[in-house]
Structure formats: structure tokens, C-alpha cells
Amino acid sequence: MSCVLKALGLLALSFVCLPSWANVQLTQRSLGVLELLWETGQPEIYNSKKVQIKGAPNFNKIYFSGMSLSQTPHHPSLPYKSFIVEGAANEMSFSIKDKKVVILNEVTPVPAAKWPCRCEDEKPEWEFREDLYVNSSQKPWLQVTSLGDYKGTPLSRITFYPAKMKNLNTVEFLKSASIEIRGATSWDSTKMLKNLKEQGRFLIISPEKFKADLQVFADAKVQAGFDVVWIDYTNQSSERLAQQIKNLHARLPIDFAVIAGSHAEVPGHLVYTSADPQTPTDRLYFSLGGQGDRVPDVFYSRLVASDSAKMRQLVQKVLKDVKLTPLQHEAIGLASDEGLNPSDEQYIHEMIEPLERQLAWNSQYFLQRRRGDGVDSIIDSFSWGLRWLNYIGHGVGPAWTSVAGGEFNTEHVRQIRAHDVMPVIIDVACQNGRLSHDNRLGVHLMNHHDRGEMAGAKAYYGGNVDISWHPPAVMAVGIGKARAQADFKYLGQVLLAGQLYLLETYEDLPAAFENLSWYHLQGDPSLVMPH
């Protein structure tokens, strides 16, 4: 196969991708001891074209088959493989034996690009920082990072780098090695996320004005076999509400939760992210392992409605049985004409194709570059019935703007006709998922009704601020893989599996961590996913 990087920003590359075999295995050797075995042939190394960075050397790309390249901006982009394991990072140790090191002279890896957020039309930037190249010589072959815990089980990520800098223009790589990791146990995400009691517990958090409207929801959950508990929201601080949830969870472990109202009505925590120094998030309510815990222990969501009547309509919509009615298309994917390694069009196929292969779903792709794939086609697809929709591109709050011929916005939502089958929407775009009443696309899709009949979205998962380029897309790929499995019964499990896929596979962990704070579900986290 052949790969060509077009000129973008400050850097232009051109290279041919040829397979270079590599084998990495992580196995449980004994109780609390993992072994990582690595063996490879010679890596493929490609020379770059002219690099338009003043004072920088000529760059190369180092390629091992089946391995991604690291994404931490401006650092040398090197092959890696990562795994989530059970165990506390500060209690792990590792030793390398049977190590065979090969030196590659006159090789300087390409710096990882810094990507803009998905609300900007800027191109990715490449910047050469000599200090990052020189300092990376101190990087260990194996790095261990804490992810916090999931329901009391500590989780960490192990990242294996088979190549690292020796100096500015010399790379050393492991041709073979055996690495013993003590204090760790192999991790099975499917088994862990499926570990629910027969009678799960559902928490409802509601201000007084919505409590009567949520009673229908509570009754339906009791009938479905859940034990339902309530917390009344009475203008307490987010810190006080978080403590109430934590105290309740200590006595009566919670599996699912829904908060009634927008962030104006029931505030979330305000946390710093690269997108917004005061990003509102609900994650801290449900990551219950204390400081440093990134992984939510509860499958949670919001129901956002402007008044009591609309809340009752929304509750009826999310409770409506999922029909197995034959459809013209079960899934559609909408993608921009932007992006690189992968492009948005490549990403949308990665998101949808597991549903085609494993669930035998018919799907359709609407691409920004194709003139006929515009607003009318999107409206028709909703109106004919859909189970699943992925969007990847630009968003501005009330609209998807990477649509052929213009944008799909909240005014177009009003034109969607009623259908018994409404989609789960995974939105990789900025701002549309804000939990507010200021004309956000996600809220409109969830609240839309057609002449009193249910229409629009069954559930919506989107970012509430300006989101980054690649991490949300990787998460959406993981969500598609999880939805295609028969292992997960509930939507909340599928979404968290996607976030864990991002944490496991994306090298730039700070960027992956932010994604957990950006994304919120609107709908029912216990929505059953039929197969």
C-alpha cells in the first residue's frame, strides 16, 4: 500500500507504507506478575520531503506494523503500544531481560502535530523543539500511569515504547525483549463493565420542579427490576451534592444515575481543560474513587427540558421501547472533508463498519464533499427511522456545519417527521452537547416532537465545549466497536467502553482525560441495546 501526506501547516511529508512485522504480547505469568514479550524485524524508515521549519533537521518516520505513533504535541513521534491493567501505578515495578538494542544513526523522527479544536478552521501545527528530543532520551521503555479506579479496582495504563531517542539524530530501538511487570493483573473491560447485580440501583437527582415528572421514569425503572433511590436538589453546591452522592454510594452502591435539568438548574463541577478553564462537567459526581480518579463508577446522564410539560414528553420518549422494525438504513455516518491520519472520512468508516459487519446493519454515508449529501438527505433519514447516527466535523452549538451545501441546524430539526425508531447519536463536534437552553443541537434533537409525536433523537452523546480533533474521534470508534458486541446490554456500558478504548489506545493521556469531562449523555443510560 502507499501513503501520501499532503502539505499542511508547517510540515510536508511523503512516504510509502510497507509492512514491517512486529509482535507484542502481554500475558499473565503468575499472580500479580505480567510479562510483555516483544520481537520485531527492522523498522521501516521514511525520509521526509523538505521540512519548512527554520533550523530543524530533516525528519523521518519510523514504522512498526500494527503500532500507532505517539501524539503528544511537539515531542518526537515514535511507535507505541498501550494496555490498561489492574493495579496501582505506584505499586508496580518492572525489569527488562533478554534485551537486544539496535542503533539507528542519522534518524530524527517527525514531531507530533498540535491539532486545533474542531470549531476552528486552522490547520495542524508542527513545531521542532530540540529540548524535547534531547530530553526524550531519558524516557523509559515502559511508562505506567494511574487512571484511578473502577468500583474500587485500581486501574493503570502501561505504555510500551520500542524506540526512543538516544540523541538529536540517533534512535535506539528494541529488536527483542522480555519485560516483567510486578504488581499488575490483566484487565478485561467487557467483564468489568458487565459486572452488574441482577437488581441494579438507579439514582435520580432532581429539583422539586421536575420531581413529579420523573416519577413515571422511576416507576418504569422499578418495573424493569431496578432499585430506585432519590436525591433532592435544593440549590446545594456541587461539592455538597458530590458528597451526598458519595455517601449514598458507600451505603447503597449505585449503578445508573440521571440528573434532571440543565447545568443552570443543577450545576456541574467547573474544571480546567484546554478548551475552557471553566468546563462544566458531571464526571466528578460519579468518579467516586477520590482525587486522581478519572473513570466514572456510575453510568450517568442528563434529561434537559425547559419546563415540566417538556420534561414529561422527554421522559416518555426515552422510555419508549426500542422497535426492531425493518428500516431502509439502520445507521448513517456524516463526515467532514477535513482531517489527516486518519481523515474524518476514514474515521466515520471505522465508527460504522463494526455495526455493518457484526450486526448486519444497512448504513449510508453522507460526506461533505458530495453535493447531494446535504440537509434534505439528513432530514429524510431521520424521518424514515434510524437506530444510530455518527457525526464527525465542525460544530458551533446549534449546528453541524460540515454538511454538503451548508449546515444542519436546530431549525432543520423542526422538519424531522415522527417515527417509532429514533437514533442514538454520537456527535464528534464542538459545543453541540452543552447542557443548556441556549439553542444547542443536542437538546433540540432530544426535545423534538412532530405534531405531538416523538421524533428526533432517542439519546445523544456530545461535547459541551470546544473539543479536540482526534481523541473524541477515537472514542467514537471505540463506541462503535462496543455497540457491535453482544456483550453489552445497556447504552451506558457502550459509552464507557468507548471512553476506556480512548484511554487505552491514545498515547497523549492528558488529551484523553479531558474527553471524559467534555462528553455527556442526554437520555437513559440504562437504554437496552438490542442485537
Domain count, the chain: 2
Which among 156, 187, 218 is the end of a domain? 187
What secondary structure letter does DSSP report for 125? Answer: B
Q: List the chain residues with pLDDT less than 50.
A: 1-19, 51
Q: What is the CATH number of the domain that holds 41?
A: 2.60.40.3800
Q: Kindly state whether residue 257 falls inside one of the protein's structural domains.
A: no
Contacts of 169 (CB under 8 A, 6+ apart): 57, 105, 106, 107, 108
- Please report the pLDDT score of residue 41 as a whole number: 87
Alpha carbon of residue 269 to chain centroid: 20
Q: Which residues pair with 22 in a beta bridge?
A: 40
How many Cβ atoms are within 10 Å of 249's Cβ, its own excluded? 20
CA gap 252, 229 in Å, rounded: 9
- Please report the pLDDT score of residue 199 as a whole number: 65
Which among 187, 210, 228 is the end of a domain? 187
Grid coordinates belonging to 361: 446493519
Grid coordinates belonging to 143: 511508562
Q: Kindly state whether residue 206 falls inside one of the protein's structural domains.
A: no
Q: Kindly state whether residue 127 falls inside one of the protein's structural domains.
A: yes
CA gap 458, 385 in Å, rounded: 11
Alpha helices in 76-137 (DSSP H): 130-135
Q: What is the CATH number of the domain that holds 352?
A: 3.40.50.1460
Q: Kindly state whether residue 198 falls inside one of the protein's structural domains.
A: no
Q: Kindly state whether residue 284 falls inside one of the protein's structural domains.
A: no
Domain that holds residue 432: 324-522
Indicate the length of the chain as a whole number.
531
- Please report the pLDDT score of residue 322 as a whole number: 82
- Please report the pLDDT score of residue 7 as a whole number: 31
- Please report the pLDDT score of residue 197 as a whole number: 60
Q: Kindly state whether residue 91 falls inside one of the protein's structural domains.
A: yes
Q: Kindly state whether residue 251 falls inside one of the protein's structural domains.
A: no
Grid coordinates belonging to 307: 419546563
CA gap 509, 284 in Å, rounded: 18
Which among 159, 187, 215 is the end of a domain? 187
Specify whether the CB–CB gap between 354 and 531 falls below 8 A: no
- Please report the pLDDT score of residue 258 as a whole number: 98
Please name which of 122, 118, 509, 121 lies closest in space to residue 347, comparing C-alpha atoms.
Answer: 118
Specify whether the CB–CB gap between 159 and 82 falls below 8 A: yes
Predicted TM-score (pTM) of the model is 0.93
Contacts of 459 (CB under 8 A, 6+ apart): 301, 318, 424, 425, 446, 491, 521, 522, 523, 524, 527
Please name which of 273, 374, 338, 410 lies closest in space to residue 118, comparing C-alpha atoms.
Answer: 338
Q: Kindly state whether residue 262 falls inside one of the protein's structural domains.
A: no
